[in-house]
Structure 1
Amino acid sequence: MILEYKDILRGYANSIFYTVVGTVLNIVMTICAAYPLSRKDFVPQKFFTIIFVFTMYFSGGLVPLFLQVRALGLYNTPLAMIIPGAVSMYNVLILRSFFMTGIPKSLEEAAELDGANTFQMLTKIIIPLAKPTIAVLVLFYAVGHWNDYFSALIYLKDKSLMPLQTVLRDILIMGKIDMTSGSVDMAAVTAKLKVAQTLRYSVIVVSTVPLMLVYPFIQKHFVKGIMLGAVKG
């Protein structure tokens, strides 16, 4: 019965799109930010670290962010669910910490002696060694995208763009699954209300299935990634 509701199927497709595309962009942006900040030979390293960390504690607020999204032409587009949260500074610090402490300096020096440039060193040495930490960040970002419903309420007005969590919110809080009819048979009405209640909780279970399927493949990296990428004072 859940699959009969087009809003749920459309929300599922939208959430999968936002999660996959958003997570890929998140990881790329996080790596591009964390690697330069981990390089001691990068002259403005401390300056940019301070600027980036500043954004963890202070922000312009929701209204300026909304005005900025609208000014950029992102309002009521799929990109509004992806671009504003393209990078998390907390995750950047986790990956930066691993780059600084988890990879031997001698390994980088050996790669330089073999003629590897910065891009080759990053893609062929650094990233493969950072897979456990990156796997953890993928999980963090993916869960964040999958559970995000507030951004849709702020940036989207087209129902066809709404993610699953927003549709689920409407079902649970606003009761938009219509199981009523013109029948005056109280037994039939009661039965339909029970079905509606069952559907609500069934949708909750169904909405968790994708993350439940993904997690077993990366759980072996979870604890290791957290330990390797832990932020050190």
Structure 2
Amino acid sequence: MTTAPPTRRTGRPRGPRPTRGYRVFQVVNGVILTGVVVLTLYPFLNIVARSLSDEAYIIAGQVSLVPRGFNLTAYELLMSDSTFWINYRNTVVYTVAATVISIVLTTCYAYVLSKSDLKGRGFLVGLAVFTMFFTGGLIPNYVLVTSLGMKNTIWAVAVPNAINVFNLLVMKAFFESLPGDLEEAAAVDGLNTYGILLRIVLPLSKAIIATMVLFYAVSFWNSWFTAFLYLDQQDMFPVTVYLRNLLAGATGAENVGAIAESDEVQAEATLKAVTVVLTTLPILAVYPFVQRYFVSGVLLGAVKG
């Protein structure tokens, strides 16, 4: 890069001038990222258009990004279904409870593993990494959860997947990047281990904690198989199981049968799109508030291995 001439106002150099190759890289990078954005947005915009369209246009494949036969009847029908709202409430409760449990356990475990002088640290790290590649299997997990009396309880959803090892390692790396002098000074001032964690470490870890909250919340919100496996009472299902049953044609929503029999309301294809939209909206609404922590949290957590 060449140095640009000084500015008229300050007389200071403007900094290195980008080379032709760097400008080409910026253009190519912008084009690629724009293409990724389009590919990412298209499915969601398509499902929104389908949720507002008449089923005949959907079946004929005539709906892309613009609704055809605009109609809100499917929204009205689904939102009048009490089962949908019960399952929706369950999803909110499960997500909040499971995320809180996961954040507490992951933070405590990662903080312990970040101490290089901890006896048995290598074994604890290896134990965590081992579970990334090997698991007990579906049947042993089911037997364990059932024998512990957690079936048909919120704990069956929240506890088995409480610690994600990838998140654990990212948070561990972040804690290792914090200056050790801060903790030593706090210890000299009389703080114990818990005081250092709560009053020194956690206030400095807002970015990584917000990132982990986003990771865990999205994971638990979208999860359906765990609830499908361990819950068999309809009033305890999360909304993702409701959606799964609807897509599989085995939904517990009583109103779906009436859709196919009535000519004055939207039919099943539109209702499926409406359910997807209403299930996705909360995560889309929350993401902008934590997005500013997302990149910084991941990058800070990747400083050390």
TM-score over 0.5 for the pair: yes
The one-letter code of the counterpart of 2:302 is A
Matched, 1:60 2:132: no
1:180 aligns with 2:256: no
Per the normalisation by structure 2, the TM-score is 0.71
Could you say which structure has the greater relative contact order, defined with CA pairs below 8 angstroms and 6 or more residues apart?
A: 1
Between the aligned partners of 1:78 and 1:107, the Cα distance in structure 2 is: 39
Q: What is aligned with 2:274? A: 202
Whole-angstrom CA distance in 2 between matches of 1:20 and 1:230: 27
1:126-137 equivalences under 5 Å are 126-137=201-212
Following the alignment from structure 2 to structure 1, what is the Cα–Cα distance between the partners of residues 236 and 286? 24
CA distance in 2, matches of 1:231, 1:21: 30
Alpha-carbon shift at residue 24 of structure 1 (Å):
0.2
Which runs of 5 or more structure 1 residues have no equivalent in the other structure?
182-187
Give the paired residue count.
224
Residue 216 of structure 1: which of 267, 276, 288 is its match?
A: 288
**Which structure would you say has the larger Rg?**
2
Q: TM-score, normalised by structure 1?
A: 0.92
Distance 1:70 1:17 in 2: 21
| Cα-to-partner distance string for 1:129-186 (whole Å, 9 max, x where unaligned) | 11101111101100111001111111111111100001011112216322133xxxxx
Identical pairs, percent = 40
- One-letter code of the match for 1:168? L
Distance in 2 (CA, whole Å) between partners of 1:46 and 1:196 is: 54
Structure 2: gaps of 5 or more residues: 1-75
User: Which residue does the alignment assign to 2:197?
Assistant: 122
CA deviations on 1:54-91 (whole Å, 9 max, x unpaired) are 11111111110000001000112221111111111111
> Counterparts of 1:152 and 1:86 in 2: how far apart (Å)?
14
Matched letter for residue 180 of structure 1: A
| Structure (1 or 2) with the greater helix fraction | 1
Partner amino acid, structure 2, of 1:96: K
